[in-house]
Amino acid sequence: MGRILAIDYGQKRTGLAVTDPLRITANPLLTLPTEQLTDWLRDYLDNNIVDEVVIGHPTQLNGQESDSMRYIRPFMRRFRQVFPNVPLTEYDERFTSTLAHRAMIAGGMKKKQRQDKAVVDKIAACIILEDYLQTL
């Protein structure tokens, strides 16, 4: 059984999280500049067994897509072209940044650490992945 990788795609930074091989837990992986994402994915997917990639689908409170989708859709098209054998699943990411901040507070992180947007992004990716795992 392969891992599931989650992507919290952003214009500047992208957070990533991954399951353990048995898909029991979701773990924050890293945050990287978005322009490095495709190259990083190439390397990661070449060296790890990943059965599925889950990407956050940002929606507004009324259920409509947020403006961020205009940046995410082109990435999704590129992903499907570059990695045609890896399923890409969209998953609702509403409130993940807020939940990430709450998790950081609950975990005892200091205010300075909570202001690091890279940490927030990888925790948000982990929350997307945890939520997705619960639906399986």
pLDDT in tens, 45-98: 999 999 999 999 887 767 777 788 899 999 999 999 999 999 999 988 765 555
Matching residue, tokens 């890293």: 30
CATH superfamily of 3-135: YqgF/RNase H-like domain (3.30.420.140)
Domains of the chain: which residue ranges? Answer: 3-135
Closest CA to 2 of 56, 57, 53, 55: 53
pLDDT in tens, 3-49: 999 999 999 999 999 999 999 999 999 999 999 999 999 999 999 99
Instruction: Give the predicted TM-score (pTM) of the model.
Output: 0.84
